[in-house]
Amino acid sequence: MIRKTALAFAASLVVALVAAPRLAAEEPPTACTLIGCSSGVHLDVVKVKDGVGRLSFCVRDRCQRFGVKKHRPWGGVTVECSAETDVRAILTTKDSAGHRIARYSTMVHLEKSQPNGPQCEPTCFSGTVRFTGNRLVAVPPS
């Protein structure tokens, strides 16, 4: 009985010694967090000239249109897009009757973002433009 137990122990020791290097060489599974992100171009509105009643912000074939309220703190809007390269952003200003005042255009570099690491989803592409009242400029990635 002792001999069978010793043989079983020796056999399991051999299996463990043969399998150990292979197990050590395998990479552990990747643990991903749940941080999200979205792809698109963000418009940061700094100033709007008098007489402007509406803004239309477009990237590719998607647009956001919104009215201008005087004396309101400006923030911005984001137009979602699925591009992975540079895109053109277009901002059109209109008066309160809807007549076009001006049209501004700039190219935007989309920066790749993987907030949970390169092995985890999601992967997003985003950029920012700033409107200063008379100019639309791309904001360099930070």
Q: Is residue 142 scored above 60 in pLDDT?
A: yes
pTM: 0.72
pLDDT, the chain, mean: 82
Tell me the pLDDT band of 25, cut-offs 50, 70 and 90. low
Q: Is residue 31 scored above 60 in pLDDT?
A: yes
Report residue 91: phi and psi, to 5°: -120, 125
Q: Is residue 138 scored above 60 in pLDDT?
A: yes
